[in-house]
Homo-oligomer: A and B are copies of this chain.
Amino acid sequence: MPPAEPLAPGSLLIAIDWGTSSLRAVAMDAQGTILDRLSSGDGVMAMAGRDYAAVFQTLFGGWLARWPQAVILASGMVGSRQGWREAPYVSCPASFEDLARGIVTVPAGGGRLLGLVPGLVSLGDKAAPDVMRGEEAQVFGAMKLGGRQEGVFVLPGTHSKWVSVSDGRIMRFSSFMTGEVYGLLKQHSILGRLMPQGGDPPFAQPAFEAGCALALDDAGGALLHRLFSVRTQGLFERFTAEELPSYLSGLLIGEEVREAIWLLGERPELPVQLICRADLALPYRLALGQAGLDSGVIEDAAFAGLFEIARRNALLS
Chain A interface residues toward B at CB < 8 A: 125-131, 159, 174-178, 180-181, 184-185, 187-190, 214, 218-229, 231-233, 235-236, 238, 252, 255-256, 258-260, 262-263
Contact = CB atoms under 8 A, between A and B. Distances in A.
B176 A233 contact: no
13 contacts: A128-B232, A128-B233, A128-B238, A178-B224, A180-B190, A181-B224, A181-B227, A220-B221, A221-B262, A222-B263, A224-B255, A224-B256, A225-B260
A236 B178 contact: no
A254 to B, nearest CB: 11
B184 A222 contact: no
Nearest to A229: B128
Contacts of A231: 131
Nearest to A130: B232
A220 B262 contact: yes
A189 B258 CA distance: 23
Contact of A176 (B188, B224, B255): B224
A121 B262 CA distance: 33
A70 to B, nearest CB: 33
A6 to B, nearest CB: 27
Nearest to A217: B126
Nearest to A159: B228
Contact of A225 (B176, B220, B224): B176
Nearest to A262: B220
A219 B219 CA distance: 9
Contacts of A220: 219-221, 258-259, 262-263
A241 to B, nearest CB: 15
A219 B222 CA distance: 11
Contacts of A128: 229, 232-233, 236, 238
A174 B131 contact: no
A175 B256 contact: no
Contact of A177 (B174, B175, B224): B224
Given A176-B225, A181-B224, 12 more contacts: A127-B214, A129-B235, A174-B225, A177-B225, A177-B228, A184-B184, A219-B220, A221-B259, A222-B259, A223-B223, A224-B252, A224-B255
A222 B224 contact: no
B228 A175 contact: yes
Given A220-B262, A223-B221, A180 B175 contact: no
A127 B226 contact: yes
A176 B221 CA distance: 12
Contacts of A260: 225
A222 B130 contact: no
Nearest to A251: B127
Most chain B CB inside 10 Å of its own CB: which residue of A126, A128, A129? A128
Contacts of A126: 214
Contacts of A178: 224
A248 to B, nearest CB: 12
